[in-house]
Each structure stands twice: as C-alpha cells, then as structure tokens.
Structure 1
C-alpha cells in the first residue's frame, strides 16, 4: 500500500513538472506558448434529431454530386465545397473567415448544421 502511494506521489510530481515545462517552451518566434487557445466562431443551436440528420444528409449527398464538387480529390477542399453548396450564407458566417484545414478537427460542424436547419 505504501509503495502504491509513493508511486502516485511520484507520478503527480512528474505530471506537474511536464505541465510546467510545456508552458515554458518557447515557440519558433521566441514567444512563449499560451496556456490555452480559444477559437471563436458564430454558434447556432443544433438538435440532433432523426429529421434534422436526414435533412442535412440529403443536402450533403446532393452537393457531393454538384458539378463544382464532384471532381475534387482533396478531402478538405471537397468538404469546403460541399458545405458552400449546402448553404453559402451559413458557410460565409462560420467557415469563410478561417476555412477548414487538412487534419483539423471540425468543432464548427454542429453549428453549421444548426445554421442550415434554422435558415430552411
């Protein structure tokens, strides 16, 4: 039991030191990394119901076949094209100022879906 407690204390110290070190690592520009990064974008309420999901999916499928989007190979370019096709006004509000990039986790999708459903 005493050994488990010592291991726990040791791990806590290591975690605190690693967290402390991370905050003090300078970036490429010589500036320190910020503690947290906050990404702001317009948020629209979206309730994930069968009706809303089906409605959005139908629009998504139709736009995948749109002449502007069908020949795009790049994943992100195609996604951006499809979303512009679904609703150019919602795309403008949510994505245009900072388009989705390769490898980015899309935290704005539900807000986009909410915008689309509200503007129908």
Structure 2
C-alpha cells in the first residue's frame, strides 16, 4: 500500500466522519402554522371557488402563471388569511400545500359564510 492510498483512505474516513457529525447535529424542525377548521362541503367549496375564480381573472393575477399565480390568487382571496398562513413562509415550487385546508377554513370563517 502506498502512502498515497493511505492518505486517500484517511481523507475518506475523515470526510465520512464529518458528514455523520454534521447530520447528527441537525435536529428535525417541525413545520407549524395556525390551523383553522374547514368543513369540506359542496357549499363551502362553491363559495371558495367563486372567490378563487374571480381572483384568477382579476387584472393582477391573470398576468401571472404557475406558483406566482397561486400566491397571487391566495392573497387576493383573503389578504389577512394569506398573511397569517403564508407571509413568513411562502409556498415554494413543488411544495405540497398542507396549509390549503386551513387557508380555506380561515377564509370561510372571516368571510362570515360558514356553511354546512
């Protein structure tokens, strides 16, 4: 075994140790957000969809696409609910939106259109 091979082996062991040490230091961070109850009923869905459609067609949001459009529409539907649920941690490309039902619940509650 040459000194070079020993050196490479040492570097590999050292780098593996550093990666494991770094991973061990990281603790999982729980994603939390305010949760609002949302009853998934045809009337609630229709109310939300009416607002969503109007916002999609609005001047501000109709000019955007993809994620920017989704963000625009949510903020248009309910600026206060958007600020509360998305402002500090914006929805990202490819993210599964686990906050959507809470957003809908917030919207229904604040719009005063709670329906069964």
Regarding TM over 0.5, the answer is yes
- Two-structure CA RMSD over aligned residues (Å): 2.0
Aligned pair in 2 of structure 1 residues 25, 48: CA closer, same or farther (>3 Å)? Answer: farther
Misfit runs of 4+, over 4 Å: none
2:104 corresponds to:
113
Task: Deviation per CA, 1:17-62: give whole Å up to 9, x if none.
Answer: xxxxxxx9948xx34353x441011110001001000000111110
Q: Which runs of 5+ in 1 are unaligned?
A: 1-23
1:67 corresponds to:
59
Equivalent pairs counted in the alignment come to 93
What secondary structure sits across from 1:39 in the alignment? coil
Q: Which runs of 5+ in 2 are unaligned?
A: 1-16, 112-116
CA–CA separation in structure 2 for the residues paired with 1:38 and 1:59: 31
Find the structure with the greater CA-based Rg.
2
Q: What are the within-5 Å matches in structure 2 for residues 1-120 of structure 1?
A: 26=19, 30-32=22-24, 33-34=26-27, 36-73=28-65, 75-120=66-111
Name the structure, 1 or 2, with higher relative contact order (CA <8 Å, separation 6+): 2
Structure with more helix by fraction: 2
CA–CA separation in structure 2 for the residues paired with 1:26 and 1:79: 37
